[in-house]
Amino acid sequence: MSKRLTVPKTYKLYIGGAFPRSESGRTYEVVSAKGDFLANAAKGSRKDARDAVVAARAALKGWAGATAYNRGQVLYRIAELLEGRRSQFADEIAQQEGVSASAAAAQVDEAIDRWVWYAGWCDKFAQVTGNANPVAGPYFNISVPEPTGVIAVIAPQDSALVGLVSAIAPALVAGNTVVAVASERFPLSAISMAEVLATSDVPGGVVNILTGSPAEIAPWLASHADVGGLDLVGAGELDWVDLQVAAAQTLTRVLPPEQGADAAAPTLHRITAFTEIKTVWHTKSLV
């Protein structure tokens, strides 16, 4: 009996609900913690980043216009699908990060829990962060949170899955769309996560995932006029001050790199970081 050859997988980008190759045609090898070849991953370019922003902008109106309850259902569905592929993700994490099977499984469980946690906030955060304001005169004055727009995310680079989920999920809660640059060292879980998103109820373009070099891609996202917010949670090793300067040219809101063992821990702040507060005045009826 002849020996069967393995079929090395080439992981692609996730843009607009599809899985295109990088327009540059470039790939790079992903290796295990032991240095063994695992797969090829697409190396995203400036053009890929711009295409992802176009897709995210096109999807923004529909996602922002969905009810908060519906967005919560969609995020919870992601958690359900991730649960169904738990063993695959655990295996990928164990190979990439070189951790034990139990530690890898715990990371998948944490990622699932965070999707559920943020799903629960979708129809609640507006009540917490908005309010009716006391004013003098026959008026109602109400402040409500609204999405900022397209959010570019540099995901934590030392985490295969939890860091990516922790950066993407909160931006989606308020109705933003996302362009995320995954961990360069551990990209396999990011594209597997994209496969989950593609088979879930998330509309195409709401989440776009790029693999490759954050140092190469981040400047183009930071300076892009159609990007409304920049989450630099995983940009600690980049020249993030220059990224902030580039973002300032188009008045892009920036969430700077955070420090600590779990900088992207689930918090209400990560949701409100990319919301705008709209205040509405309405005349009271005098009858």
List pLDDT tens digits, range 242-276: 999 999 999 899 998 875 446 678 899 999 999 99
Compute the distance between CA of residue 27 and CA of residue 40 in angstroms, rounded to an integer.
6
List pLDDT tens digits, range 146-202: 999 999 999 999 999 999 999 999 999 999 999 999 999 999 999 999 999 999 999
Give Cβ neighbours of residue 136 (< 8 Å, ≥ 6 apart). Answer: none
Q: Which CATH class is domain 11-283?
A: alpha beta
Give Cβ neighbours of residue 184 (< 8 Å, ≥ 6 apart). Answer: 157, 211, 212, 213, 214
List pLDDT tens digits, range 55-67: 999 999 999 999 9
pLDDT at 218 over 80: yes
Predicted pLDDT of residue 260: 46
Mean pLDDT over 80-95 rounds to: 96
Kindly give the pairing relationship between strand 139-147 and strand 131-132.
Answer: antiparallel
Q: Decide if 147 contacts 175 (C-beta within 8 A).
A: yes
pLDDT at 140 over 90: no
Compute the distance between CA of residue 126 and CA of residue 20 in angstroms, rounded to an integer.
36
pLDDT at 138 over 70: yes
Kindly give the pairing relationship between strand 207-210 and strand 177-181.
Answer: parallel
Neighbouring C-alpha atoms within 13 Å toward the C-beta of 139? 11
Domains of the chain by residue range? 11-283
The rounded percent of the chain whose pLDDT value lies above 90 is: 80
- The one-letter amino acid code at 9 reads K
Kindly give the pairing relationship between strand 177-181 and strand 27-31.
Answer: unpaired
Question: How many CB atoms sit inside 10 A of residue 32's CB?
Answer: 13
Number of helices and strands (H, E) in the chain? 10, 11
- The one-letter amino acid code at 128 reads V
